[in-house]
Every structure is written in C-alpha cells, then in structure tokens.
Amino acid sequence: MMKRALQYSQSAGLPELLSWLKQLQVKLHNPPTIHYPPSQGQMDMCVTCGSQEGLCKVFEMIVNPGDNILVNEPIYSGTIHALQPLGCNMINVSSDEHGIIPDSLREVLSRWKPEDSKNPEKNTPKFLYTVPNGNNPAGNSLTTNRKKEIYELARKYDFLIIEDDPYYFMQFNKPWAPTFLSMDVDGRVIRADSFSKVLSSGLRIGFITGPKPLIERIVLHTEVSTMHTSTFTQLLVSQLLHQWGEEGFLAHVERIIDFYRKQRDALLAAADKWLSGLAEWHVPTAGMFLWVKIKGLHDVRKLIEEKAFKKEIFMLPGYNFYLDSSAPCPYFRASFSLASPEQMDMDYRKPRSKFLRTVCREPTEEP
C-alpha cells in the first residue's frame, strides 16, 4: 500500500476511489445522464485537488476573454479571483434568502432571444455559476421550485450550470432539495463536490461530475498541469470510504450536520441576545456562515477593519464578496465553524458594548 501511495497515479483519479464516488453520486442524485452515450453527455467524474482546482480548470476550459457569464452576489471571493484574470464579463443575478431569484435571471436573459445562443456573435451567457446550498457568505439555499425554473431557463437559452456545492453535506433541514445534477436531462450541469468540510480541508480531495466530453478535457488539463491529485491522500480517503461504506459515510455526515446545527444555533442565540435592534440576518439553512447587515450603517469597513480587528473579533467585511469591492457595503460575514458558544457570545457582546452603538450613531454615517 505504501509503495503505491508514493508513486504517480492516473490523472482522473484512483479507479477504486472513482468507482466509489460514482456509486455515491448515483445514490444521492440519480443523474438522468448516467445511462446516456458519451456523445449525449453521459455522466463522468474526475478527482481534483479540492473542488477549487476543479472549478478553476472548468473556468479555464470554458471561458474566453469577453464572454458573458452569470453569477449571483454576494459571491464566494475565490470565484471572483478565479474568473477576473480570464477577462470575462460577470453579470449579477439578484438573490434573496432563498437564493437566485428566477425573475431576476429572466430579466437579465431578456436582452437576448433564445435563438441567439446559436449565433456566437450574440455572446449569450456561457454558464450560470451558483452555490446552491449554504452559499458562502450569505448562507442561503435554493429551493426546489427555483432550481426547476432556473434549469428550464438554462435549456431555453442554452447555457451551462456550474453547481458548486461544497456545503451539500451540511444541510440542516430535511428533505434535501434535489440538485441540478439530478434534474440534468441535457448534460449541461457541471457539479463540484468537496470533502474539505466533512473529512479534512488539508486532504485536498474534491471531485467534478459532468458530461463525459467536458470531464475528459479537465483530465487532459490535469495531465499537463498538476498531473494528478496526491496518490497518498486519495488512497487514504478511498480506504476510509470503503471501510465505512455508503451508509457509514452518510452516518458520519449526519454527525457533522448535528455539530454544525448546534454551532449555528449558538451563534444565532448570541446574535439575538446582543445584536437585536442593531442588525438583521436570515437563518442559514446550510453551511457555516451568518450574513449580517448592520442597520443604519452605510459601510462596515470602519466598523470591521478599524474596530473589530483591534478587539480580536474576526468578522469578514461584506465588500469582499461583491464584484465591485470598492462600493460601500453594510454586511459582514461571521463563521460558526470553530468558535465555542462562549466565544460567540463574547464576540457579539464586545461589539455591542464597546463600539457598535458608537459607530452606528456617528454623524458621518447614514441615519
């Protein structure tokens, strides 16, 4: 085993790990494309160095300078930084506590006709990028009906959907909403999954699921770049998953969910106790983040960067998650992944008692 772990391996991933993951995808999502011929978008998979590497390879495979792509703010900052160097036009689609608003997507798409997708000169959007569960930073999740509407719009205007779902295994409410992959009758969904949140981020194991012709291109890219994900960590994860079996892995997932649900509830209790009347938020339905809007404050930069950091209260200012990071933003992101309930209570008591009220009342800010 150790001799194999220290050698090169297949660029697509270890065969036994890929086989296990494919069975898991079929069990969880039952993609319609699983039995399609390759020419019609048969489902295929590859292992990547975390889902972030997989997403970067997807972006580099699809995007050309000047292409239009669809995103929804607030958006994971890593995605912004991965897309900006490619020279594409990122078009924002509005969202709320239930994720992307289909009517907003419909309005954005109305500048084109459906038949324009057949004419490259019309530059119709190539894909929609979305984090459907526990979106980082907003913590919102797309509902089943919204996903269905969005998928039908993707069919109508012929664009791909990149389903970045690292918090899929951290959904707090049952039943879980069907995924875009489970609805994909056309082979237009590329899905990114990750073990970073449920096993270990240091393992750097993610996997990409999508139409076979596109997965083959990702593997070709891997062959001439990173060559393959670490054989050592792939073997480690594969041995663990085979020892657990699917049911054992899903039982582990339930324990993870229970932990993060308790963490979320502790942060919400602290927010209710110390920030009521000063801020507003929606209850996260998945993931590990709380997205907080400070009332009466036009921009949180001064609050977070000059006051919170000095008090060792580490909250991320919201402008990091917008395409125009120079614009004022009244939001900040708090995480409930590591802090104890006592730390959460202290972190929210400090801003209330030390500086939040003062900053909110400063005459230089909005009333």
Residue pLDDT tens, the chain, 367 long: 788 888 889 999 999 999 999 999 999 999 999 999 988 889 999 999 999 999 999 999 999 999 999 999 999 999 999 999 999 999 999 999 999 999 999 999 999 999 999 999 999 999 999 999 999 999 999 999 999 999 999 999 999 999 999 999 999 999 999 999 999 999 999 999 999 999 999 999 999 999 999 999 999 999 999 999 999 999 999 999 999 999 999 999 999 999 999 999 999 999 999 888 889 999 999 999 999 998 888 898 877 776 665 555 668 899 999 999 999 999 999 999 888 888 887 767 665 554 454 444 443 343 3
What distance lies between CA 265 and its chain's CA centroid? 21
Find the helix packing angle between 341-350 and 231-275, rounded to 10°: 50
Domains and CATH numbers, the chain: 2-244 (3.40.640.10), 253-360 (3.90.1150.10)
What distance lies between CA 247 and its chain's CA centroid? 25
Which own/partner contact pairs does 337-346 have at CB distance under 8 Å and 24+ positions apart?
A: 337/260, 337/263, 337/288, 339/263, 339/267, 341/266, 341/269, 341/270, 344/266, 344/267, 344/270, 345/266, 345/269, 345/270, 345/273, 345/274
pLDDT at residue 309 in the model: 57
- Give me the residues paired with residue 279 across strands: 276, 294
Confidence (pTM) = 0.92
Question: What sign has the CA pseudo-torsion 300, 306, 311, 316?
Answer: positive
Find the helix packing angle between 144-157 and 102-109, rounded to 10°: 10
